[in-house]
Amino acid sequence: MTKPLTSDTILLIEDTPSLQMIYKAALNRAGFTVETCGTAAEGTAAFQRLKTSIVLLDLMLPDRAGLDVMQDLLVAEPRTCVIVITANGSINKAVEMMRAGAHEFLVKPFDDQRLIAAVENARKALRHRPQPLHAPRGEAPARQVLPPFIGHSEPMQAVYEKIRSVARSMATVFVTGESGTGKELCAEAVHQASARASGPFVALNCGAIPVDLLESEVFGHLRGSFTGAISDKLGAAAAADGGTLFLDEICEMDLNLQTKLLRFLQTSTITPVGATRPRKVNVRIICATNRDPAEEVRRGRFREDLYYRLHVVPIHLPPLRDRGDDVNEIADALISQMGREENHDFQGLSPRVRELFRALPWPGNVRQLINVLRNVVVLNDGPHVTPEMLPPDLLAIRAAPAPAAGERSGLSLGDLAGRTLAQIERIVIEDALARHGDSVPKAARELDVSASTLYRKREAWAKADEG
């Protein structure tokens, strides 16, 4: 049995006494000192007392969800390596945990060797993990990660710092960035680092909800207030009372509803559809868009007064292609875990894939990377991801970079002369759809709009064509 790298105590938070005994025996035999706790409260207190750098944490505790405990531990000491233990081995749970900052994810049952290996890996990671931001005077602070994000790149350091700063205030945050860069993750990180973390976090995608229903989704409605309102409905704003309301794709919001949102921001009151009396709510607003909000204001699609009300602290998330080696760091964090879940032995990326990943444009950003990795893990066996395992369309992106504006398909400016702006918009969208085999998400990505926008426009054109 290998000796531990250091003699730090390991904190084990597990509510089943037999399992506590088994894990402790295994770790003791390997030379580790273990402190055991059976509840979240005991575990949190022991963590504060012992300042342990490695925590083995069961996800289902009697007094609190393990995920919440982990987030508290990581806020208190971001360098902590939390090894999550669970009997729920779904890949979604694993990804959720890793994104939330878990170092590793052990699915019961696991043997003593697997347990010791996880602890040894954590010890090795701690050796290379950057020091806290409070570096000695005169020294530059080391690079750090803000869970649930992954990645130490320079552009993300600025994002982490801004999230930490803004979390302490009540200021409205406006998150921008391409699709798949993690705007909701950013909103959750602000919420989790804020004093409202124990309150609700409610996310609403304005682009995914039909315009007619959006007001009811945001502000709620009373029974009978419109056809189909068969019962009272609590809107997202009321559901987020005491916490944070995240409005994604805010630029998709109808201008009339923008007026109501502005009133809500000014008065902190909501009036559900059909109600006569407003209700006071205490909500922090974070909103996001993958468009340029200032441009939307210039085009008259977004209220200027609302823009200034929302655009208090902007946070721009860089695209994955601008994040240096983060792409490989994220892939490393996910690939072995996905492999375990799929019973395929994956240990990492080959050097050629690392190089390729750094060079790819990743138009779908982290979301695209996750999908690529899942595709690889499901269809192949490890131990290393090689270029041959990658989806062919991913390699095609590299082989054929996106054409510059004006070079696309057969369209030329001459074709557009004399047409209205609405007609030109339709021509451009239909051209993009045709080139992407009628794939709305792909066309939307190229045009840098949400897919729901394209769906709505197609629906409107179909109605107009019928009429």
Partner 1 sequence: MDDWFEMDPGRRTPPAIDKAVLERLFAMGDSSLRRALCAQLRADFQRLHQAVLGPDGAAVGRAAHELKGLAATVGAGRLTDLAQALDARAENLGAAARAAIVTPVLHEIEAVLACLDSAAGEPPAA
* The one segment of 37-45, 104-112, 171-179, 228-236 that binds partner 1 by CB under 8 A: 104-112
Q: Under rule CB under 8 A, which residues in 31-70 are in contact with partner 1?
A: 60
Residue 296 beta carbon to partner 1: minimum distance, rounded to whole angstroms: 44
- The interface region with partner 1, picked from 15-23, 227-235, 317-325, 371-379 by CB under 8 A, is 15-23
**DSSP, residue by residue, 323-371:** STTHHHHHHHHHHHHHHHHTT----EE-HHHHHHHHH---TTHHHHHHH
Query: Does the footprint of partner 1 cover residue 108 (CB under 8 A)?
Result: yes
Q: Which residue's CB is nearer to partner 1, number 92 or number 420?
A: 92
Per CB under 8 A, which region of 80-88, 285-293, 339-347, 364-372 contacts partner 1? Answer: 80-88
Dihedral (CA of 345, 350, 354, 356) sign = negative
Sign of CA dihedral 412, 442, 444, 457: positive
The smaller minimum CB distance to partner 1, of residues 19 and 91, is found at: 19
Cβ proximity to partner 1: between 22 and 41 the closer is 22
Residue from 15, 35, 178, 326 binding partner 1 (CB under 8 A)? 15
Query: How far apart, in whole angstroms, are the C-alpha atoms of residue 419 and residue 93?
Result: 51
- Check if the beta carbon of residue 433 is closer than 8 Å to that of residue 440: yes
CB of 53 to partner 1, least distance (A): 24
Backbone angles phi, psi at 209, to 5 degrees: -115, 130
Binding residue (CB under 8 A) for partner 1 from 16, 39, 380, 439 = 16
For residue 18, state whether it binds partner 1 (rule: CB under 8 A).
yes
What lies within 8 Å, CB to CB, of 145 at 6+ separation is 78, 101, 130, 151, 152, 156, 160
**Considering beta carbons, is residue 10 or 237 the nearer one to partner 1?**
10
d(CA 233, CA 222): 6
Contacting partner 1 (CB under 8 A), which of 26, 310, 338, 377? 26
The answer to whether 19 contacts partner 1 (rule: CB under 8 A) is yes
Q: Quick one: which segment of 10-18, 120-128, 138-146, 427-435 binds partner 1 (CB under 8 A)? A: 10-18
**Contact call for residue 88 and partner 1 (CB under 8 A):** yes
Burial group, residue 290, by CB count within 10 angstroms (0-12, 13-18, 19+): buried
Which of 3, 29, 298, 299 touches partner 1 (CB under 8 A)?
29
Q: Give the range of 18-26, 41-49, 123-131, 330-338 binding partner 1 by CB under 8 A.
A: 18-26
**Would you say 39 or 371 has its CB closer to partner 1?**
39
Apex 222 CA angle, 221 and 228, nearest 5 = 80
Contact between 420 and partner 1 by CB under 8 A: the answer reads no
**Residue for token pair 């979390």:** 167
DSSP per residue over 239-295, as a string? HTTTSEEEEETGGGS-HHHHHHHHHHHHHSEE--BT-SS-EE---EEEEEESS-HHH
Residue whose pair of structure tokens reads 């607003």 in the numeric block: 285
- What is the per-residue burial (b if ≥16 Cβ within 10 Å, else e) of 196-209? bbebebbbbbbbeb
The one among 3, 5, 6, 25 contacting partner 1 by CB under 8 A: 25
Report the alpha-carbon distance of residue 183 to residue 176 in Å, rounded. 7
- Of the candidate residues 3, 5, 17, 387, the single one contacting partner 1 (CB under 8 A): 17
111 lies in the site for partner 1, by CB under 8 A: yes
Confirm or reject binding of residue 91 to partner 1 (CB under 8 A). no
Enumerate residues 6+ apart whose C-beta is below 8 A from 448.
178, 179, 290, 291
Among positions 112-131, residues that touch partner 1 (CB under 8 A) are: 112
Tell me how far, at minimum, the Cβ of 35 lies from partner 1, in Å. Answer: 18
* Contact positions vs partner 1 (CB under 8 A): 15-19, 21-22, 25-26, 28-29, 60, 86-88, 108-109, 111-112
